[in-house]
């Protein structure tokens, strides 16, 4: 019997080094066998990550494969309402405290989803460690995606020391707290009070002193902030286009905007960005969303006036 799971493809000669790295990270799915395809190996991993694709894997003999799930901190999120499977996941992964069933897609203004507790501690709150930073998240109360950790590091690499940054849709603060390592100050806004409450907790926990959390609708920022920002992060893929004109107003000429959008063709938003006075430096796929649709990030530079 084969099982569908996320997998990382590497040339066979790099397979052992990658396997060891995934074990150290706790990311390797040890219940499934590594696959060989030509000169490549495909290593099964527990959650979607940069460069991962979907593959079929054989289970190791005698090891019962676990139901499909995603991990966020100590919580396993199942795609089926399967209490017995949830118990099995908790028994096989001692670092987990709770298993939940994601009853629907991420939805609503706050971008949260309904979760049903299947097994373990009755909580949707957990702690996530990402590149040495710790975040308290509440999966039912505020948005958080562990899949964006590589993306946050990618933006951090582009930040120059001392930048003044705006995160328009900051959630519990993972972009803002990551970028704080190089920025002089970051204004981090969100309209979900629970997200801002957790952001405050995360600011304290990570001993960050240059993030200014703001409980506000991003629609109001251009009217009240007189600053011109060096860089703006816009991570609201389903509705971000509405906020682009305000982002251009808040960005200094020559400054950068990272605009996340749901797209179905490459270059879908380029004409609009040019019309607003921006140049697209790069457009990258962040993750797949549905057949024929994906989340893309446009790295934009605001043109000099
Ligand atoms: N950047 C965060 C992260 O990576 O975890 C959160 C991204 S989540 C996709 C979008 C966030 O935008 C949610 O936390 C939601 O509450 C917030 N949001 C939605 N509409 C907003 C608005 N008009 N103004 C400010 N925040 C908004």
Contact predicate 141/194, CB 8 Å: yes
Percentage above 70 pLDDT, the chain: 100
Nearest 10 degrees: Cα torsion 200, 234, 184, 248: -140
- Nearest C-alpha to atom 19 of ligand 1 is from which residue? 109
Report helix, strand and coil shares of the chain as percent, to nearest 5. 25, 40, 35
pTM, full prediction? 0.85
Cβ-Cβ contacts under 8 Å for 13 (sequence gap 6 or more): none
Q: What is the mean pLDDT of residues 231-247?
A: 92
C-alpha–C-alpha distance, residues 230 and 228, integer Å: 7
Q: Which of 72, 2, 6 shows the shortest CA–CA distance to 45?
A: 6
Contact predicate 235/211, CB 8 Å: no
For the chain, the farthest-separated pair of C-alpha atoms sits apart, in whole angstroms, at 67
Q: What is the mean pLDDT of residues 160-184?
A: 98
Q: What is the mean pLDDT of residues 108-118?
A: 93
C-alpha–C-alpha distance, residues 256 and 279, integer Å: 10
CA gyration radius, the chain: 20
pLDDT number for residue 247: 97
DSSP 85-132: HHHHHHHH-TT--EEEEE-S-SBTTTTB--EEEEEESS-SEEEEEETT
Element (H, E) at 28: none
Domains located in the chain, CATH noted: 2-123 (3.30.70.2580), 146-302 (3.40.50.150)
pLDDT number for residue 172: 98
Token duo for residue 102? 């994601």
Residues with CB under 6 A from ligand 1: 109-111, 142-145, 148, 169-171, 174-175, 189-192, 195, 217-219, 235-236
120: pLDDT confidence band, cut at 50, 70 and 90? Answer: very high
pLDDT number for residue 290: 79
Q: What is the mean pLDDT of residues 84-105?
A: 91
In terms of C-beta density within 10 A (0-12 exposed, 13-18 middle, 19 or more buried), how is residue 243 classed?
buried
Distance from Cα 109 to the centre of ligand 1, integer Å: 8
Q: Ligand 1, residue 190: give the atom nearest the CA.
A: 26
Distance from Cα 264 to the centre of ligand 1, integer Å: 22
């Amino acid at each position: 019997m084969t099982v569908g799971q996320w997998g990382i493809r590497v040339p066979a000669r790099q397979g052992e080094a990658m396997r060891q790295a995934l074990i150290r990270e706790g990311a390797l799915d040890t219940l499934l066998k590594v696959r060989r395809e030509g000169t490549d190996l495909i290593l099964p991993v527990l959650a979607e990550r940069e460069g991962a694709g979907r593959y079929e894997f054989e289970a190791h003999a005698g090891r019962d494969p676990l139901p499909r799930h995603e991990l966020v901190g100590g919580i396993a999120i199942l795609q089926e309402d399967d209490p017995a499977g949830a118990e099995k996941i908790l028994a096989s992964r001692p670092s987990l405290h709770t298993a939940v069933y994601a009853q629907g897609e991420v939805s609503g203004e706050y971008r949260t989803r309904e979760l049903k507790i299947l097994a373990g501690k009755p909580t949707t709150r957990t702690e996530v460690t990402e590149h040495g930073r710790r975040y308290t998240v509440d999966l039912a109360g505020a948005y958080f995606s562990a899949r964006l950790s590589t993306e946050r590091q990618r933006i951090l690499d582009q930040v120059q020391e001392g930048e003044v940054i705006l995160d328009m849709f900051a959630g519990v603060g993972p972009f803002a707290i990551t970028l704080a390592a190089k920025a002089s100050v970051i204004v981090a806004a969100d309209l979900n009070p629970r997200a801002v409450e957790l952001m405050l907790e995360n600011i304290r926990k990570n001993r960050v002193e240059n993030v200014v959390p703001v409980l506000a609708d991003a629609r109001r920022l251009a009217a009240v902030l007189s600053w011109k920002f060096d860089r703006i992060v816009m991570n609201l893929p389903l509705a971000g286009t509405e906020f682009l004109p305000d982002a251009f107003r808040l960005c200094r000429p020559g400054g950068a905007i990272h605009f996340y959008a749901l797209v179905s063709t490459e270059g879908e938003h380029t004409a609009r960005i040019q019309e607003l006075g921006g140049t697209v430096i790069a457009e990258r796929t962040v993750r797949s969303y549905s057949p024929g649709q994906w989340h893309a990030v446009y790295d934009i530079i605001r043109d000099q006036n």
